[in-house]
């Protein structure tokens, strides 16, 4: 896959969980996107901006890299060091209170972050859809539950996730949360193919949080969880 060319970036300084670039690569294999630098993509919950860089390089777009946890100036310095200052625009906004222009973005991506702030019905239509241009595409990947265990995350995953276990839900849940809307042309949720490799690349960083996750991998993570893909296309 294309993300194999970015191996040198898969480090404890850049990754914040299972390899987000590998998840995004699978989404783009399923739903290819090609843009010009004049077209804009929003990366919502970008972390250190690895997915933003990958998106810019692989699709040609200018990417607005938004994160609440990583400071804007930190990402600006990182993007300059990567030689991407002209294509990656760091933003520090709360995802529930975005202040962009309507129809500003040709696409939006959100990898391993959407579940933290968007797990309520109506959120997508109210907080995300207005910023996507007609015909635009939204691609999301979240950690969740295999369909057979949807609704059991708190019972099964609390020893690992504590009071955040409720955030892990299956494809059916996310399809309901996205909902139906007159401006949505198509919406799909599914269990992604990528699983073990994104986790193993996270463990290989040696990050202290990765070590903590590794302790639960065989007993909880691998048996019950999956990455859930979400695709929404806005009506033209």
Q: Residues 149-187: pLDDT tens digits?
A: 999 999 999 999 999 999 999 999 999 999 989 999 999
Residue found under tokens 């990754």 = 15
Residue 1 — very low, low, confident or very high, per pLDDT cuts 50/70/90? Answer: confident
CB 196 within 8 A of CB 183: no
Number of neighbouring beta carbons within 10 Å of residue 165: 18
Whether residue 103 is predicted with pLDDT greater than 80 in this model: the reply is yes
List the domains of the chain with CATH numbers.
2-234 (3.40.50.150)
Retrieve residue 137's tokens: 């595409």
- pLDDT value of residue 42: 98
Residue 232 — very low, low, confident or very high, per pLDDT cuts 50/70/90? Answer: very high
In angstroms, the CA 73 to CA 84 distance is 14
- Residues constituting the chain: 236
Give the pTM: 0.97
Q: Which of 233, 174, 232, 224 is nearest to 195 (CA)?
A: 224
CB 186 within 8 A of CB 233: yes
CB 228 within 8 A of CB 190: yes
Report pLDDT digits (tens) over 33-80.
Answer: 999 999 999 999 999 999 999 999 999 999 999 999 999 999 999 999
Of the chain, the end-to-end C-alpha distance in Å amounts to 31
Dihedral sign for Cα 162, 163, 164, 165, please. positive
In angstroms, the CA 214 to CA 196 distance is 12
Q: What is the mean pLDDT of the chain?
A: 97
Q: What is the 3-state secondary structure (H, E, C) of the chain?
A: CHHHHHHHHCCCCCCCCCCHHHHHHHHHHHCCCCCCCCCEEEEECCCCCHHHHHHHHHHCCEEEEECCCCCHHHHHHHHHHCCCCCCEEEECCCCCCCCCCCCCEEEEEEECCHHHCCCCCCHHHHHHHHHEEEEEEEEEEEEEECHHHCCCHHHHHHHHHHHHHHHCCCHHHHHHHHCCCCCEEEEEEEECCCCHHHHHHHHCCCCHHHHHHHCCHHHHHHHHEEEEEEEEEECC
């Amino acid at each position: 896959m294309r993300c194999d060319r970015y191996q040198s970036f898969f480090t404890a300084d850049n990754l914040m969980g299972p390899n987000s670039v590998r998840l995004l690569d699978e989404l783009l294999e399923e739903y290819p996107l090609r843009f010009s630098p004049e077209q804009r993509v929003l990366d919502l919950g970008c972390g250190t901006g690895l997915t933003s860089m990958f998106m810019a390089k692989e699709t040609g777009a200018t990417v607005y890299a938004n994160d609440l946890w990583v400071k804007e100036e930190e990402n600006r310095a990182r993007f300059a060091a990567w030689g991407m200052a002209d294509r990656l625009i760091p933003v520090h906004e709360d995802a529930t209170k975005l202040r962009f222009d309507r129809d500003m973005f040709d696409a939006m991506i959100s990898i391993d972050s959407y579940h933290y702030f968007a797990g309520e019905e109506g959120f997508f239509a109210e907080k995300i859809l207005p910023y996507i241009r007609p015909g635009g595409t939204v691609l999301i990947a979240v950690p969740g539950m295999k369909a057979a265990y949807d609704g059991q995350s708190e019972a099964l995953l609390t020893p690992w996730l504590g009071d955040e276990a409720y955030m892990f839900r299956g494809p059916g849940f996310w399809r309901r949360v996205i909902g139906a809307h007159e401006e949505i042309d198509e919406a799909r949720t599914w269990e992604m193919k990528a699983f073990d490799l994104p986790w193993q690349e996270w463990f290989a960083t040696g990050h202290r949080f990765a070590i903590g996750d590794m302790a639960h991998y065989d007993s909880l993570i691998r048996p019950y969880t999956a990455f859930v893909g979400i695709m929404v296309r806005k009506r033209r």
